[in-house]
Amino acid sequence: MENNTKIGYSEALCVLLIIVISHLILTLPKIILQSQGSSSILNVIYITLIASMIIFIINLLYKNFKGMDILDLSNYLLGKKFMFIIGIAYITFFIFTSSLLIRNTVENLKTMYFQSTPIPYILFFILLAVGFISRYSLKSVIKCNLIVVPFVVVALVILFILSFNDFTFERIFPILGYGPKNTFITGIDNLFVFGNLVFLFLLMPILKDYKQFNKLSYTALIISGLFIFLTILALLLMFPVDISSNSNLPMYLQTRKITLGKFIQRVDVFFVLIWILALLSYLSVVISFVLSMFKKLTSIENKSLVSYSFIAILFATSLLYKNVIQIRQLDANLYKYLSLLFTFGISTIILLMCNIKHKIKDKDKVKVK
């Protein structure tokens, strides 16, 4: 990461929250509802508990490596070549997930408001804004995100409260949905919803106080789990599972059902504005971290040129997908498992191997003495 960048606890927390919220608006609810049905809320509670145990292990393993991100850990484990491979893998993962998210967003915007506008045009203007923002330092982008996240969080809370009158509590049954095996065994792969926690492995070196890492990880997990729970609960109680799980943007359906007396009949307009704001903040944060990682791997100085290069790659990647159906398939079958792999697989294994190497070195030092 950038050498002079140091951020506080609130800024780091908002980074983790904007990642999960952006995916929550578009992809997470329908994937969970599709696989779990009426047991979705029980499954969310279950995977949150499992994620908390994994976070406990990560915090335990990180004790000897304060101030080191995933690149530093990779370098410590097997040297610069391995660090480069891991760095490129993570950058590719971030570009892929961002391209899915932005293309999904553009497809929905086109369907709702811009039927006659070609997709490349909408993509271009969104990424132009992201390119402009990402020219600034990582710290500046994170500070901007700190302003955006509270608005998005308040909007989601208000949305849940306004939805309460439309709840049908009978839809929560059968509480085990498609069966206990599906909820507690095969449903464990829904841990991917906490994919935002992969950024913990990037935030460590830029925290002002490393001692807050434990608190940050648990707070991010609890708040993320709470928002996922409330969103799933609202959709489950407002619509039949078939409707909410097959809708390309279930939260938009939720806003379309809400009215505020005779004065405000279209709450969805405000939702779309918040949605776009969250997307821009999300993309700016991700691209800024990608740039910082790439700079660390290559020691390149011309940040503006690299920034526009990654924006161009993101633009090109976003145009590769044929339609919404293909995007939904990639979300459910590829993004889901890549998120698990990078968040709870590769990152945790590298951290574990670093601890083993550290213990071996300590033993060798004792023998020498």
- Domains located in the chain, CATH noted: 9-358 (1.20.1740.10)
Query: What pLDDT, on the 0 to 100 scale, is given for residue 261?
Result: 62
Residue 345's pLDDT is 92
Residue showing tokens 């792999």: 341
Secondary structure of the chain as H, E, C letters: CCCCCCECHHHHHHHHHHHHHHHHHHCHHHHHHHHHHHHHHHHHHHHHHHHHHHHHHHHHHHHHCCCCCHHHHHHHHHCHHHHHHHHHHHHHHHHHHHHHHHHHHHHHHHHHCCCCCCHHHHHHHHHHHHHHHHCCCHHHHHHHHHHHHHHHHHHHHHHHHHHHHHCCHHHHCCCCCCCHHHHHCHHHHHHHHHHHHHHHHHHHHHECCHHHHHHHHHHHHHHHHHHHHHHHHHHHHHCCHHHHHHCCCHHHHHHHCCCECCCECCCHHHHHHHHHHHHHHHHHHHHHHHHHHHHHHHCCCCHHHHHHHHHHHHHHHHCCCCCHHHHHHHHHHHHHHHHHHHHHHHHHHHHHHHHHHHHHHHHHHHHHC
Report the alpha-carbon distance of residue 324 to residue 226 in Å, rounded.
28
Predicted confidence at residue 158, as pLDDT, reads 87
Contact 224, 16 (CB under 8 A): yes
Cβ atoms of residues 248 and 78 within 8 Å:
no
pTM of the model: 0.91
Quote the tokens at residue 356.
Answer: 């083993």
* pLDDT score of 4: 64
Closest to 199 measured CA to CA, from 285, 104, 296: 285
212 exposure class (CB count in 10 Å sphere: 0-12, 13-18, 19+): middle
Averaged pLDDT, groups of 10, the chain, 369 residues long: 76 94 88 90 95 94 89 93 95 94 90 86 90 84 92 90 85 87 92 91 90 92 94 90 80 77 68 88 93 88 80 93 87 90 93 91 61
- For residue 163, what pLDDT is reported? 85
CA 19 vs. chain centroid, Å, equals 3
**Phi and psi angles of residue 322, each rounded to the nearest 5 degrees, phi first:** -75, -45
Written as six digits, the tokens of 206 are 């830029």
Distances (CA, A) of 307 to 140, 247, 279, 349: 15, 34, 18, 30
